[in-house]
Structure 1
Amino acid sequence: MTASKDEPMTCEIGIEQVGGRQLRVARWRLDEPSEHLPILFFNGIGANIEAVAPLAEALTDRGFIMFDMPGTGESPDPVLPYNPFTMSWTAAKLLKKYGIEECDVMGVSWGGAMAQHFTLQHPGMVRRLVLAATTAGMLMVPGNPAAFTKMANPRRYIDADYMNEHFAALYGGALKDPDAKSSHIGRLKPPSPRGYMYQLIAMLGWTSLPALPFLGKQTLIMMGEDDQIVPLTNGKILKAAIPNSRLEVFEGGGHLFLLTHADESIASLKGFLDAAEEDALEAA
């Protein structure tokens, strides 16, 4: 799943007006025929489209759509604060703009919370749900304090040397590919101070835990064994709360196991989503 920062992304990308907001949106293969539903992806806090582009590029048999949150990547700064309800409403508007009535939804870290909220708010638009390195919100088991302190500092997006120095504390897990770390760092773009702050406060007081028993969607929970930011226990809490869910743990994986364990992650993701088509064929 590694890609050089100099390699062009094979997607359509641009600023779209959606629900009264301007968002930078990236779309992979939405116009190509496919037997699979597209994936709506919610990114981690402060992260831009390019950070997850290798994942979208690797899923060659299905469409993929994601956007920079207001004030991150190249989406303009938000004028007013937002919350999971308003951003889920905006994401639903975006899907309908491209004629997508149903999709599979995936979120990582902060975006995993958004993916949960979107699924609860718009269940009719979601077939299956994938949660990676995430929690049920404020009712979570906190990670390593050293990692949390550095995670809250947007300097990690601005200063490559800082990111390189604290990479292990931030993300845990051993990198199998020595070029993967520098490639990931090279794809990051700093969020604006306002954008980062609004993203932090959007989830204040939010939790999905009381609603998860009523989620009603097949859910894959992917967690890194050595995640310093979101400890594995949080994945076990999600597994216990969500009916029809399964937990997959990536041995030695940290918060960025989608990068460090790319082949295993993609195989797990595709296997889970492909099973939905198999179930539908059997039902027919």
Structure 2
Amino acid sequence: MPTAAANGLNLYFERFGEGPPLLFISGTGGDLRVKPNVFDGPLAKRFDLLAYDQRGLGQSEKPDVPYSMADYADDAAALMASQGWDEALVMGVSFGGMVAQELAIRHPGRVKRLVLACTSAGGAGGASFPFHEIEHLKGEARARHMIPISDTRRDDAWAAANPDQYKLFVAMGAAAPYADEPGHAMGAHRQLQARAAHDTWERLPQIACPTMIAAGRYDGIALPATQEKMAGRIAGSKMQWFDGGHLFIIQDRTAAPTMADFLTGG
């Protein structure tokens, strides 16, 4: 099992592909054992792609101590160093975008170009959906709650008109194959605590690398208004909209190629 000693703990990672180095930072609850994952998409065909389970998640170490967004950013920087990368392209998705903001602020020399996808700055810039407030919801109850938030087009009327697809989405959202593993609940809780405190708003102008803000038009988790605010706060950033909700990266087939083109300077 590939692990790297990074920032005082062992992180599980995977690396595949050829091309410019790209660090992919995943979202809330990210676990590389859950398929399909980023290595099953088009990015692995264009980049030397590095992805990992963040502290407290998946097959990475799960210390039972408070986590901070700075910890997550320093983990990412240390993982890059473990691979011999002085700098890399970086894509952060959802919670991973929050980590990527901290990474670009705390370790500016390591981030060559940056994509912040379906994420938020917190503070006066607006926060993403407060997952810590629904931590008590599990399985199908959580899935049903999140479907119309993840994509605001999927309201009650849509669910009634598309019962088979709604049933499928509920089943997919309820799946939690590793929920009973030791440390799983604790690590997930620690991540939500750190996420709730995320706030880079006042520091966003410190991000100096070329940056794309990538967003879904129907995202009820990372609201469209927060995307516009982030774009206005990062000098020279590019705002890019896609047809979808919080999962626009898999809903809109143009999303991954467009973000990849930006990362390679296109």
Q: Does the pair score TM above 0.5? A: yes
1:168 aligns with 2:160: no
Residues 65 and 212 of structure 1: CA distance in aligned 2, closer, same or farther (over 3 Å): same
Q: Deviations over 1:154-184 (max 9, x none)?
A: 755xx3x446534522411669xx6995678
Alignment check: 8 A CA contact 2:213 2:239 kept: yes
**1:1-284 equivalence runs, <5 A:** 14-29=2-17, 32=18, 34=19, 36=20, 38-50=21-33, 54-57=37-40, 58-59=42-43, 60-141=45-126, 148=130, 152-153=134-135, 159=139, 161-162=140-141, 164-172=143-151, 181=169, 189-190=178-179, 192-251=184-243, 253-261=244-252, 263-275=253-265
Residue 127 of structure 1 aligns to which amino acid in structure 2?
A: K
Task: Pick which of 46-55 and 104-113 moved more.
Answer: 46-55
Shift of 1:74: 2.2
SS at 1:49's partner residue? coil
Alignment check: 8 A CA contact 1:137 1:206 kept: yes
> How many angstroms apart in 2 are the aligned matches of 1:52 and 1:235?
28
Unaligned runs of at least 5 residues, structure 2: 155-164
Alignment check: 8 A CA contact 1:47 1:188 kept: no
Shift of 1:87: 2.5
Unaligned runs of at least 5 residues, structure 1: 1-12, 277-284
Shift of 1:138: 3.1
Alignment check: 8 A CA contact 1:51 1:184 kept: no
* TM-score normalized by the length of structure 2: 0.81
Residue 221 of structure 1 aligns to which amino acid in structure 2?
A: I
Residue 269 of structure 1 aligns to which amino acid in structure 2?
A: M
Alignment check: 8 A CA contact 1:45 1:109 kept: yes
Residues 84 and 77 of structure 1: CA distance in aligned 2, closer, same or farther (over 3 Å): same
> How many angstroms apart in 1 are the aligned matches of 2:131 and 2:109?
38
SS at 2:189's partner residue? helix
Residues 183 and 266 of structure 1: CA distance in aligned 2, closer, same or farther (over 3 Å): farther
Task: Pick which of 69-78 and 47-56 moved more.
Answer: 47-56
Residues 149 and 201 of structure 1: CA distance in aligned 2, closer, same or farther (over 3 Å): closer
Residues 174 and 206 of structure 1: CA distance in aligned 2, closer, same or farther (over 3 Å): closer
SS at 1:236's partner residue? helix
> How many angstroms apart in 1 are the aligned matches of 2:68 and 2:131?
23
Identity %: 26
Q: Deviations over 1:39-93 (max 9, x none)?
A: 1122112221245854333210211112212221222322322212223222222
Alignment check: 8 A CA contact 2:64 2:187 kept: no
Equivalences, count: 249
